[in-house]
Structure 1
Amino acid sequence: MFVSFDQLPAHARIWIYQANRSLTSEELASVEPALRQFAEEWTSHGRALAASAAFLHHQFLVIGLDEALADASGCSIDSSVRFVRALEQALNITLLEKSQLAFLVDGEVQLVDRRELKTAVAEGRLRPETPYFDNTIAQHQQLGRAWPAPAASTWLARYFAGA
Structure 2
Amino acid sequence: MFVEYSTISDTAKVWVYPSSRKFYPNEIEEVTQKIQSFIQNWKAGDEDFTASFQFLYDRFIVLIADDEKSALQNVDIDASVAFILKLQEEYNVQLLDKMNVCFKQGKYVQYKELKDFKKLLKNKAVTGKTIIFDNLVANNYDFKNFWEIPIEDSWYNRFL
Taking structure 2 as the reference length, the TM-score comes to 0.91
Residues 35 and 54 in structure 1, CA contact (< 8 A), matched pair in contact too: no
Match of 1:105 in 2: 105
Instruction: For 1:149 and 1:63, locate their aligned partners in 2 and report how far apart those are by CA, in whole Å.
Output: 20
**Which of 108-117 and 124-133 deviates more?**
108-117
Match of 1:24 in 2: 24
Counterpart AA for 1:40: Q
Match of 1:47 in 2: 46
**Alpha-carbon deviations, 1:108-151, whole Å to 9, x = none?**
10122111233211111110010010100011122332221001
Match of 2:152 in 1: 152
Extract unaligned runs of 5+ from structure 2: none
Match of 2:120 in 1: 120
Sort the Cα spacing of 1:99 and 1:132 in 2 relative to 1 into closer, same or farther, 3 A.
same
Instruction: For 2:57 and 2:8, locate their aligned partners in 1 and report how far apart those are by CA, in whole Å.
Output: 18
Sort the Cα spacing of 1:123 and 1:82 in 2 relative to 1 into closer, same or farther, 3 A.
same
Residues 35 and 52 in structure 1, CA contact (< 8 A), matched pair in contact too: no
Extract unaligned runs of 5+ from structure 1: none
Cα-Cα RMSD: 1.6
Q: How far is 1:42 from its partner?
A: 0.9
Match of 2:71 in 1: 71
Instruction: For 2:145 and 2:110, locate their aligned partners in 1 and report how far apart those are by CA, in whole Å.
Output: 20
SS in 2 for 1:101: strand
Match of 1:141 in 2: 141
Q: How far is 1:14 from its partner?
A: 0.5
Residues 131 and 148 in structure 1, CA contact (< 8 A), matched pair in contact too: yes
1:37 equivalenced with 2:40 (yes/no): no
Counterpart AA for 1:87: L
Overall identity of the aligned pairs, in %: 26
Aligned residue pairs total 159
Q: How far is 1:5 from its partner?
A: 2.2
Taking structure 1 as the reference length, the TM-score comes to 0.90
Residues 120 and 126 in structure 1, CA contact (< 8 A), matched pair in contact too: yes
**Which of 110-119 and 145-154 deviates more?**
110-119
SS in 1 for 2:155: coil
